[in-house]
Structure 1
């Protein structure tokens, strides 16, 4: 099996140990960097930061632009370690799946584990926060190698349950942050959009960097349902009967507007927005982390 296949969710699902999942995802990702125009951008991660007005255009890295559609310039000064928080939504809606190998929760857990693996390899302090209607557990950031085991242990034990109070949970998180940090939030964001944005703005205005990993099931994006179908809200139990064929076009338009709206509002305040569904390989999200890491300073 080629190492790149370890970036595919259906392959990762066959690996039951979370530590091995994380290692395989990172290994596949780094191998992909070596085999791409990013050769040399792997373990040392060539330093980049986002393009700012006044930067010399000749310093733009066009290979990075081709991969990400974003402008980055190389930076050469030394960079201090980044303190990161993996912030995991464990509300019931994250447990949803429709004929997929990984639930949204499984996908987010695997991605968070891979990021924890990358950060500890870089000796970056990394912590973990889980929440639904409030913060349920937290591990303060540490850079010791034992921190990876602590994070993986907690990630392997948590299960999706309960309802979401995103605003309250983010207010609690903001109060915990003592130093400038990179906040990586994993959620389906199936909550009030304005409350979500207000909560993220508060964290961003506190001087912290934010990556919003918007994780949806593939079916929540494509809407493959046909005929009469009964939909059940996993958090409230409310039921709704729909005609899948008649509703599909309108639904797909609304979900795209939802994602586009979040992306637009995030751009206004410098929040990185990464739309993901459970059919996607993990390398897109990992690349976003690496570029955000180098955009600081």
Structure 2
């Protein structure tokens, strides 16, 4: 394992306590890796209009808007706007699951993703908040770029334990109502809520103008179903216990799980939400730098 790779390895990170130190270990590796790989070829995209102010470049005046409104507006680009980002962590009961061979629970893994995102956003003078949710919003840290936000972030997560069922539609409805303007929402969740709830919830948030990224975190056991002897399965989020022979249900389970995973991917595609999937034994280097570089880092930052 390379010196940089160890920063992203769940086996290594799982042995580092407390969460603040674990998160900073990951962030140290992220920043080192991003410095080695400068962004290239990014364009600066038009974001919005704002009223002309003395000293603005007249070349940026939008004369089409002036013709319609008789007022001067200049084009504002992405590099001039402040990114407001809210990692949203699922803290429902199912996120506590940790398979026998997994280095950490889904919730532990989700915490690291959220901490890394928040640190990078704040480090480039943008604003990050935090939302934790189950069947409703549990904790809400308003977005800011103040230096204390990362410590507040870690403190909230250290004091949080997964519980209760999930109701994403109710959560996003509340979030949309509480946010005064569109932001970037990064949902970090196992996404085990069934039915059309995901599609309906994502569509609602997108209709409100929010930029969405979904990061699905699963335990490898939930995908592979490796059980080979009579097992007592403990129900989560209101489901009953079941004692059964895994061989009798393995094929049907894997088919159903594959359908659920594909359904989520399609829901994200249809609602134009970026989608990432990770398992808790997977190195974060396999997707996290890509997520940060494509969606969160400004050109020339770092």
Task: Give TM class, smaller chain.
Answer: 0.7 to 0.9
1:2 counterpart residue number: 3
Higher gyration radius (CA): 2
1:28 counterpart residue number: 29
* CA distance, structure 2, for counterparts of residue 77 and residue 90 of structure 1: 32
SS of 1:78's equivalent in the other structure is: helix
Select 1:135's aligned residue among 134, 137, 154. Answer: 137
2:199 counterpart residue number: 197
* CA distance, structure 1, for counterparts of residue 93 and residue 177 of structure 2: 25
**Equivalent pair of 2:129/2:140 in contact (CA under 8 Å):** yes
Structure 2: gaps of 5 or more residues: 46-76
* CA distance, structure 2, for counterparts of residue 79 and residue 259 of structure 1: 37
Query: Is residue 88 from structure 1 mapped to residue 89 from structure 2 by the alignment?
Result: yes
Following superposition of structure 1 onto structure 2, how do residues 107-186 of structure 1 map, counting pairs within 5 Å? Answer: 107-186=109-188
**Structure 1 runs (4+) greater than 4 angstroms displaced:** none
Following superposition of structure 1 onto structure 2, how do residues 280-295 of structure 1 map, counting pairs within 5 Å? Answer: 280-283=282-285, 284-293=287-296
Query: TM-score normalized by structure 2?
Result: 0.81
Indicate the RMSD between aligned Cα atoms, in angstroms: 2.4
SS of 2:149's equivalent in the other structure is: helix
Count of residues in correspondence between the two structures: 265
**Equivalent pair of 2:198/2:267 in contact (CA under 8 Å):** no
Query: Is residue 47 from structure 1 mapped to residue 42 from structure 2 by the alignment?
Result: yes
* CA distance, structure 1, for counterparts of residue 13 and residue 296 of structure 2: 25
Query: TM-score normalized by structure 1?
Result: 0.82
* CA distance, structure 2, for counterparts of residue 256 and residue 117 of structure 1: 34
* CA distance, structure 1, for counterparts of residue 249 and residue 275 of structure 2: 27
Structure 1: gaps of 5 or more residues: 51-75
1:255 counterpart residue number: 257
Shift of 1:16: 0.7
